[in-house]
A = this chain, B = another copy of it.
Amino acid sequence: MIKKVINKKNKKIPEPTLRRLPVYYHYIRKFLQDNKDDFISCTQIARELHLIPIQVRKDLEYTAAQGRPKVGYSVPDLLRSIEYFLGWNNTTEAILVGCGHLGSAFLGYNGFKDYGLNVIAAFDSDLEKVGKKISGKSIYSVKVMPKIIKRMNIKIGILAVPGEVAQGLADLMVQAGIRAIWNFAPVKINASKEVIIQHENLASSLAVLSKRLALRLAE
The residues of A with any CB-CB pair to B shorter than 8 Å are 13, 15, 18-23, 25-26, 49, 85-88, 92, 100-102, 104-105, 108-109, 111-112, 115-117, 155-156, 179-180, 182, 186, 188, 194, 196, 198, 200-214, 216-217
Contacts and interface: CB of A to CB of B under 8 A. Distances in A.
A45 to B, nearest CB: 13
Q: Which 4 A-B pairs have the closest CB atoms?
A: A101-B105, A87-B214, A22-B203, A19-B204
Contacts of A117: 206, 210
Nearest to A87: B214
Contacts of A87: 210-211, 213-214
A104 B100 CA distance: 9
A155 B215 CA distance: 13
A209 B186 contact: no
Contact of A182 (B109, B201, B205, B217): B205
B101 A207 contact: no
Contacts of A111: 186, 203
A207 B63 CA distance: 13
A105 B194 CA distance: 31
Nearest to A104: B101
Nearest to A114: B203
A217 B104 CA distance: 29
23 contacts: A13-B211, A18-B208, A18-B211, A19-B204, A19-B208, A20-B204, A22-B201, A22-B203, A22-B204, A22-B207, A86-B207, A87-B214, A101-B102, A115-B203, A115-B206, A116-B206, A117-B210, A155-B213, A156-B209, A156-B210, A156-B213, A180-B212, A180-B216
